[in-house]
Structure 1
């Protein structure tokens, strides 16, 4: 299955988008931090073979997407949802399946809850519902400790310097160090992520997602209506950044919820364990919904 990179003009940005497949059923894949569209390399062929047109964009502030705004307010969740809506509109697709990992999943949660555009299916990987995350950060000392980096990212300048110093050594360690099975994080993969993070303005833009969430909140703070879209959560249980207890209570926010937990798989679930993730995706997406 051929994967091609396109440029898509949407919401004032020139998005770099990896595309596979064709047709009017769009699977839009939203990556997390500190990733890029490259993180979906194992899922694009599968989804295309299932009859989807698959788009995996570099999100605002990341990779080859331009421009990369400097101001924190440009990364408010409301603006990020506008990007997703604009990409969907640009696709002209008639049905939308939204798939997100990490921060991309955070945007996907907000997008589905706010019903910005109709969705056929929602797939979330290793990020809790925002309401649960907010509660856990207030009450769960273990999770608060794991989330130390979110607070560090509020500092000006220092996080950008630390992440990109020594040819992006911290970015490389984030993937290789956290992964349980490191076989899919070869030197060339780590080079790709380190190079993307070192593009002009990229690291500032990437970290500004966290700054905007902490300082501005916007629709990330709710209120949270129940999501009616059928939703699949895939969760690597060996996530060093997010405890598995963050799954608890999700059914209060989602009407039709399926959870698949993967033992001994890290936060980088779709990259680390595509041999497990892809069959789960294929079975759930193909199953009829009542």
Structure 2
């Protein structure tokens, strides 16, 4: 892509926390914004938003979450419970001396963001949830969402570890990237290079194994009574997301008592911070201002 910024232009530091050591980008000054990625990404997925938010006068903190990027990859699937992942984030904020933060979260980062906004309302100023709605809205979104989430069941088994890399990750590239070949998109190439490192694919799958085992997948609720989210929420969804339907994000409004805004982005799929970067930058800088 012409004009593509170097995805490694932001220096990162490894920070030892109580449960794991995370690789963290921490740049800029001003009100803090925390960027949380998902599977199978790393903090540099947010590179366009990092630059836009720093230019808008924010301090931006973007970690490689546990199991991804250059952060620790524990072998135990239980190390990837949402409780442990959320503790990583709160420990990171404490380490950085941040009492109040605005959050933008995508994919698996979104459940962490929703949980923090619900349980630590004194710390979260704004929540922007990209692609993934409130956990209870996701669970209760009906059979269509269960069908779209078929891969969560497949990821429970070793067969996924063996079959995903076959034929240069052909099934993965067809399913989530429209079949784009390696060498044509730097973000697809980055994801594949990350997944090919020792232990990285299993670490990514362990997020699903720890939090969405078959018994949970079949339910209509996580059974966790989260308080309502009282901060302003911006929910953003891509029209052609192959894994997440619109219902699960629209119905998240039921769990929000603060100001709510929903934006549907036409013509784009799942990886909104990259594929709809200009619109996402515009929405986030306006929202966090």
> TM-score normalised to the size of structure 2?
0.87
- TM-superposed CA distance for 1:186, in Å, is 3.7
Match of 1:122 in 2: 127
Alignment correspondent of 2:47: 41
Shift of 1:85: 0.4
Q: Which runs of no fewer than 5 residues in structure 2 stay unpaired?
A: none
**Aligned partner of residue 235 in structure 2, secondary structure:** strand
SS at match of 1:42: helix
- Contact 1:100–1:123 (8 Å) recurs in 2: yes
3-state SS in 2 of match to 1:242: coil
Asked whether the equivalents of residues 18 and 56 of structure 1 are also in contact (C-alpha less than 8 Å), the reply is: yes
How many Å apart are 1:165 and its aligned residue?
Answer: 3.4
Residue 8 (structure 1) aligned to one of 1, 11, 15: 15
Contact 2:250–2:262 (CA under 8 A) maintained in structure 1: no
Structure 1 Cα separation of the partners of residues 24 and 165 of structure 2: 24
Change in 2 beyond 3 A, CA 1:117/1:32 = farther
* 3-state secondary structure, aligned to 1:106: helix
Shift of residue 174 of structure 1? 4.8
Task: Give the one of 61, 64, 69 matched to 2:70.
Answer: 64
Which of the residues 135, 138, 150 maps onto 2:152? 150
Is the 1:29–1:98 Cα contact (8 Å) retained in structure 2?
A: yes
Deviations 1:211-249 (A, max 9, x none): 1112497x9542121111111111112111111122333
8 Å CA contact 1:169–1:194 kept in 2: the answer is no
8 A contact 1:20–1:45 mirrored in 2: no
Q: Give distance in 1, aligned partners of 2:186 and 2:74.
A: 28
- What is the SS of the residue equivalent to 2:127? strand
- Displacement of 1:19 in angstroms is 3.0
For the residue of structure 2 that corresponds to 1:249, the secondary structure is: helix
Aligned to 1:273: 276
Deviations 1:14-39 (A, max 9, x none): 2112233134x221111011111121
What's the RMSD between the two structures over aligned residues? 2.3
Cα deviation 1:52-77 (Å, max 9, x = unaligned)? 111211111112102x1122211111
Structure 1: gaps spanning 5 or more residues: none
Corresponding residue number in structure 2 for 1:105: 110
Q: Partners in 2 of 1:10 and 1:51 — Cα distance?
A: 27
Aligned CA distance change for structure 1 residues 34 and 221 (closer, same or farther; 3 Å): farther
Q: Does 1:200 align with 2:216?
A: no
Partners of 1:85 and 1:19 in 2: CA distance: 15
Question: Structure 1 residues 279 and 247, CA, compared in 2 at 3 Å: closer, same or farther?
Answer: same
Structure 1 length-normalised TM: 0.87
CA contact (8 A) 1:172 1:194 kept: no
Q: Which residue of 2 aligns with 1:32?
A: 38
CA distance in 2, matches of 1:223, 1:55: 29
Corresponding residue pairs, total: 274
Q: 1:19 to 1:166 in 2, by over 3 A?
A: farther
Give the Cα–Cα distance (whole angstroms) in 2 for the partners of residues 220 and 200 of structure 1: 32
SS in 2 for 1:70: coil
Residue 95 of structure 1: how far off its partner (Å): 2.4
Cα distance in 2 for residues equivalent to 1:39 and 1:174:
19
